[in-house]
Chain A
Amino acid sequence: MSAARRVGSRACVAALLLACVSTPVALADDKELAQAISGARADLATGDWRDARKELDGATDHLKQTSDPALYGDYLFYSALAYQQCSEDAKLDGAARGTARERAIRQYESFLKRRRDSGGALNNLAQLYAQDPQQRPQAIKLLDRAVQLEDDRVSVYAANRARILAESGQDKQALDWALGAVKSNRDDAAAQTLALELLRKQGNVSALANYVRELTSAGQVKQAVDIALTEIEARSSGRESLLVAVAEALAHRGYGGAPQRFVKSDAGQRLRKQEGTTDIGPGARELLALHEKPAAVGNYKWWRADFREYEEPRPGTRSMAFLALARALGDRCRAAGESGYPCAEAYYTLGVDFTGNSADPTAFLALAEILANSGRGAELARISDKYEKALFRGKGGAYDSRNKPKIYEFHLALGMMYGYIGKWEDKDFAPGGAIWQLNRAKQTADEYNATAPEGSRIVFPPQAVTVLSDGYLETGAVDNSVQIRVEAAEKYIQKGEKAQAQEVLDPKWRKELPETVKQPMRARVEAAATAAEGPR
């Protein structure tokens, strides 16, 4: 009986009818039939096949008289479904269930002759066929047809197909189908459960960790953490990759709120219980401590154990997950505005320090930006001084590995850092100034872009162009100051990036062009500005 109908007895309903329906209305046969079908559908939605059967059997006269093929078809479908549910009723004896199964099959087949593309009928008939190992190939074919319909129940069909494969001992293919089902509908709990069951059966912890990663990528971060913790709790060894997957999920931008909140959360408490274990205990402890308050990098030995100076960080490693988390926690503090600056600075500083001799340029730029935005020039100069060498070392490492995007990142970070503190050039050491570094960043981007595929090319940002231009202006190289902007604008226009061209050719800047700028250059600026303003 459905939940709704538990609220009152059938006697009450009958009494109510008598009381309420004072003027009986003569209903057309089709209306009676439609109501019976609708009632049966509601019964079947709650598994009440007996009431559904009564509804449908009571409408057979109306069925004979109907000329509406759609109604006739619906009747067939729900009648088949009522028999199907009857065939699955464990309280009935085998013979009764067998008879019901046969009837259900006949009616679905009959229905499918009328509506070939009914995903529901294809799916349900496949379920019935699948009960007989001999008929499983037919079931698979039906489900393939259903999947090809690509309707909003495709995850159900795919999960059922996976289940049949698993029952036939084809676990690998079953897992592929189950994962496909999850991908097609992230809210399909049955598909999720099946995929997890099959992954566990496979016993491959790395595959489980990858599954957790896929959930994280799809934005199901809470579920990812929950599943990873459940798997950690169920095992006593081989759990490292799962803890790394937890850290990766926690670094997702969807995991918001103040970092400290995680410690008190259910997930935080579950992690706390792992602190005493020998394999991942230190990792769990350090992860919780990171959320409580960032400390010096030496406090995170477990997470830094696989960090290799001057080596490219590899996805899935402890160090890469931890660094991403430290940056993400910094971003979360930063999102709170100025009140979050101290907290953000602490996390970004940890991020910069974490990579040791090479200083993480991403965390560094975030840290420098906070200091620049809050007008703390002296502190900016201090951290620039402190990390300058590390950034240079990192840049050197990037050059050694010939990783052009990384080389570019370091040049840009150094250039913007020098720009923030107004150190435009260094007479004794050329790379120690914004102009040199930003020019190198631009050059590196050009070199990389010459062979990089479309879509992965580096765009030298307008902010860097304006900082470079300002640097030239401040050092008296007026022509260079104008030229760098015009050239950048012309390139942006060529690529259709007119908005960026407009940004570097800012009207205020154009209005205040130094008098020494010659007419041909002025004309070039105006021409570029006109082109940038034109239709996109």
Chain B
Amino acid sequence: MKVRIAACSALLLAAPGVIAAPGQVQVAFKIESEKFVSGLQAQVTDVEKTVAGHLAAQLQAPFPLIEWLNATPADAPAAVLTARLVQEGASVPLIQIVWSARVGDKDFTMPEIDPIKLYGPNKLIRPYRDADRLATDVQNALTAWIRTDTVERSVHDQFVTQVPLAVSVEFDTPRQAIVIPLLWERAKVRDDSVFLLEFTRPAPTERVVVRLTPPAPRLGDPPGATECAADACTEGVVSVAKDAVWSKCVQLLLGAERPPLIVTVREYKQDPHAGGVRNGTTVSP
């Protein structure tokens, strides 16, 4: 039997305190439109919960590398994505869904993610008092929204790439491989996806970014994880020579004084069959 166990030196690093649950994103839906708040009253919370659950499920399909949650997890999530139902205008207000996000303890804007128009001037029937109808309308709009390739791309570029997926990795030093605790099959990672490992090098302080690609399924321990090569590295603005990436960049994480690190995805490409199909032939029964 071929030997595949290779994880010899494991390194567990503390993440910045605010990210206790890397890879988990809490999804929220907030009704802020005055018309709906006053019309729905006590039912506001129910609609918010229902829609948040739906949105989390919708986001899971295109981005399975993240665990999209519709409730606050026990540990602080890596990020929070909030859809807000707002109104604008007085006589026949425009009702739309706008977005806001938070990673760790930092709020950030996503200018490329456009609001979703829910009720415009040509949709005069607005269910101000009908919780079920509103929930259905919002869910339908969100479903169509996330299934649009341009939207998917914007969510990827503006949000998904910001989410810390891991705050620890394992190093397979002899093979110069880095193992991300991301379940390969669940995450449906295609082998041209790119991950980034970032940390701050002490003395002299410099931001180090290691480009991790190509990803592949981890064959040894931990089983089912995602394994990458350290493909490139920059220290501040300086690119490190390709053959020195491991010795100059990754090596900094193998010493006694290990700086906290964060793994994010730079370019996520989904394999719709999770590696299960090759040239029309399936690789599992």
Taken together as a complex, chains A and B put the C-alpha atoms of A334 and B95 apart, in Å, by 11
Could you tell me the distance in whole angstroms from the C-beta of A216 to the nearest C-beta in chain B?
A: 10
- Residues in B neighbouring A254, C-beta threshold 8 A: 145, 148-151
- Residues in B neighbouring A220, C-beta threshold 8 A: 148-149
Check A266 for interface membership: any CB of B closer than 8 A: no
Taken together as a complex, chains A and B put the C-alpha atoms of A39 and B144 apart, in Å, by 40
Check B115 for interface membership: any CB of A closer than 8 A: yes
Could you tell me the distance in whole angstroms from the C-beta of A143 to the nearest C-beta in chain B?
A: 11
Taken together as a complex, chains A and B put the C-alpha atoms of A134 and B114 apart, in Å, by 55
**Inter-chain contact A20/B130, CB cutoff 8 Å:** no
Check A514 for interface membership: any CB of B closer than 8 A: no
Taken together as a complex, chains A and B put the C-alpha atoms of A368 and B124 apart, in Å, by 13
Could you tell me the distance in whole angstroms from the C-beta of A361 to the nearest C-beta in chain B?
A: 9
- Residues in B neighbouring A308, C-beta threshold 8 A: none
**Inter-chain contact B278/A461, CB cutoff 8 Å:** no
Could you tell me the distance in whole angstroms from the C-beta of A113 to the nearest C-beta in chain B?
A: 13
**Inter-chain contact B281/A153, CB cutoff 8 Å:** no
**Inter-chain contact A253/B2, CB cutoff 8 Å:** no
Taken together as a complex, chains A and B put the C-alpha atoms of A124 and B96 apart, in Å, by 48
**Inter-chain contact A2/B4, CB cutoff 8 Å:** no
Contacting A77 at CB < 8 Å: which of B117, B216, B285? B285
**Inter-chain contact B91/A253, CB cutoff 8 Å:** no
Check A84 for interface membership: any CB of B closer than 8 A: yes
Could you tell me the distance in whole angstroms from the C-beta of B242 to the nearest C-beta in chain A?
A: 13
- Residues in B neighbouring A372, C-beta threshold 8 A: 89-92
Closest to A224 in B: B149
**Inter-chain contact A187/B272, CB cutoff 8 Å:** yes
**Inter-chain contact A500/B125, CB cutoff 8 Å:** yes
Check A198 for interface membership: any CB of B closer than 8 A: no
**Inter-chain contact A255/B6, CB cutoff 8 Å:** no
Taken together as a complex, chains A and B put the C-alpha atoms of A66 and B149 apart, in Å, by 48
Check B284 for interface membership: any CB of A closer than 8 A: yes
- Residues in B neighbouring A51, C-beta threshold 8 A: 2
**Inter-chain contact B120/A331, CB cutoff 8 Å:** yes
Taken together as a complex, chains A and B put the C-alpha atoms of A35 and B4 apart, in Å, by 9
Instruction: Say which one of B21-29, B169-177, B257-265 lies at the interface with A.
Output: B169-177
Could you tell me the distance in whole angstroms from the C-beta of A170 to the nearest C-beta in chain B?
A: 18
**Inter-chain contact B283/A223, CB cutoff 8 Å:** no
Closest to B123 in A: A461
Instruction: Say which one of A8-16, A206-214, A393-401 lies at the interface with B.
Output: A8-16
Instruction: Say which one of A155-163, A240-248, A423-431 lies at the interface with B.
Output: A155-163
Contacting B122 at CB < 8 Å: which of A127, A365, A375, A497? A365
**Inter-chain contact B276/A153, CB cutoff 8 Å:** yes
| Given A54-B2, A462-B125, also A6-B94 (CB < 8 A) | no
Instruction: Say which one of A114-122, A289-297, A442-450, A478-486 lies at the interface with B.
Output: A114-122
**Inter-chain contact B91/A420, CB cutoff 8 Å:** yes
- Residues in A neighbouring B279, C-beta threshold 8 A: 88
Task: Give 1 or 0 for each of A494-523: 1 = CB within 8 Å of chain B CB.
Answer: 000111101100000000000000000000
- Residues in A neighbouring B219, C-beta threshold 8 A: 4, 38-39, 42
Specify the main secondary structure of chain B where it touches its partner: loop
- Residues in A neighbouring B176, C-beta threshold 8 A: 7-8
| Given A461-B124, A503-B129, also A256-B281 (CB < 8 A) | no
Taken together as a complex, chains A and B put the C-alpha atoms of A120 and B172 apart, in Å, by 33
Closest to A369 in B: B121
Taken together as a complex, chains A and B put the C-alpha atoms of A16 and B173 apart, in Å, by 9
Check A373 for interface membership: any CB of B closer than 8 A: yes
Contacting A156 at CB < 8 Å: which of B124, B151, B214, B280? B280
| Given A219-B148, A221-B150, also A45-B283 (CB < 8 A) | yes
B219-278 residues at the A interface, CB under 8 angstroms: 219, 227-229, 270, 272-273, 275-278
**Inter-chain contact A190/B280, CB cutoff 8 Å:** yes
**Inter-chain contact B5/A221, CB cutoff 8 Å:** no
**Inter-chain contact A498/B130, CB cutoff 8 Å:** yes
**Inter-chain contact A219/B114, CB cutoff 8 Å:** no
- Residues in A neighbouring B272, C-beta threshold 8 A: 155, 185, 187-188
Closest to A216 in B: B148
Could you tell me the distance in whole angstroms from the C-beta of A163 to the nearest C-beta in chain B?
A: 7
A32-62 residues at the B interface, CB under 8 angstroms: 32, 35-36, 38-39, 41-42, 44-47, 51, 54-55, 58-59
Could you tell me the distance in whole angstroms from the C-beta of A135 to the nearest C-beta in chain B?
A: 16
Check A378 for interface membership: any CB of B closer than 8 A: no
Task: Give 1 or 0 for each of B138-153: 1 = CB within 8 Å of chain A CB.
Answer: 0000001101111101
Taken together as a complex, chains A and B put the C-alpha atoms of A334 and B4 apart, in Å, by 58
- Residues in A neighbouring B147, C-beta threshold 8 A: 186, 218-219
Check A17 for interface membership: any CB of B closer than 8 A: yes
Q: A219-B149, A222-B150 are in contact. List 20 more A-B contacts (CB 8 A).
A: A3-B229, A4-B229, A59-B1, A81-B283, A84-B281, A118-B285, A156-B273, A186-B147, A221-B149, A254-B148, A256-B114, A362-B122, A366-B122, A369-B120, A369-B121, A372-B91, A372-B92, A461-B125, A462-B124, A502-B39
**What are 30 A-to-B residue pairs whose CB atoms are below 8 Å?**
A2-B216, A3-B216, A7-B177, A14-B3, A19-B8, A39-B4, A39-B219, A45-B217, A55-B2, A77-B285, A88-B279, A119-B285, A120-B276, A156-B277, A186-B147, A219-B149, A220-B149, A254-B145, A254-B151, A256-B150, A256-B154, A335-B96, A337-B88, A365-B121, A375-B90, A463-B124, A499-B39, A500-B125, A500-B127, A500-B130
User: Ordered nearest first, which 8 A-B pairs have the shortest CB separation?
Assistant: A8-B175, A499-B130, A4-B216, A254-B148, A373-B89, A256-B114, A461-B124, A120-B282
